Amino acid sequence: MKKTTMKSLLLPTLTLSLAVIGLTGCIQQSNSSTPTPTAPAPVVAQSGAGSAEQDQRNVVRFSDLPMPPGAQLDTEKSIILGTGEDWTGRVLIQTPNSPETAFDFYRKELSGMGWREITAVRAATSVLTYVRDGRVATIQLQKSALGGTDVSVTVSPEGKPKTDG
């Protein structure tokens, strides 16, 4: 019975460890709230200054993905692989905005960054899907139990249809 318990714990522990290593290696810490133009995205930057900085959580900035003002990255549950505009993964964000405001923000800002809308569904859990340069972004938004909105952004390479022959 003990062997079964050890085996059942090994895979989740190994998976979590690899996710943490991948996230840690791909996110850069910076003391500036404005990333430098040469810094690869995504970049995690501390906001605020002085003692107020201690009360601020990490905010994230992407060169190809808009972030609502005051958005906070959940670094424990996010995974980012790659750099620049070639990253893939899942980013979990908490924003103080209402789900309706967050939905409108992403819909407006993504189009302005060259993303082409594929679908948009406004509901209790809203979903937006966009495509840009061979990548697909799916954004899920729902009201947070703590107030504001929980946002899950998944970015992956666009699938190519299979052809016969």
CA 152 to CA 65: how far, in whole Å? 12
For the chain, domain boundaries: 2-157
Phi, psi of 66 (to 5 degrees): -70, 145
Q: What are the residues facing 44 on neighbouring strands?
A: 29, 60
Within 13 A of 60's CA, how many CA atoms are on the CB side? 24
CA 60 to CA 51: how far, in whole Å? 20
67-107 pLDDT, tens digit per residue, is 998 999 898 999 999 888 888 999 999 999 999 999 999 99
CA 147 to CA 56: how far, in whole Å? 17
Q: pLDDT 10s digit of each residue in the chain, 165 long?
A: 555 554 555 455 545 444 444 444 444 433 334 333 333 445 444 333 333 443 344 555 678 889 998 999 898 999 999 888 888 999 999 999 999 999 999 999 999 999 999 999 999 999 999 999 999 999 999 999 989 999 999 999 998 766 665
Q: What are the residues facing 138 on neighbouring strands?
A: 129, 154
The model carries a pTM of 0.63
Q: Which two tokens stand for residue 36?
A: 């430098």
* Lookup result for tokens 């790659």: 82
Q: Which two tokens stand for residue 73?
A: 């990255």
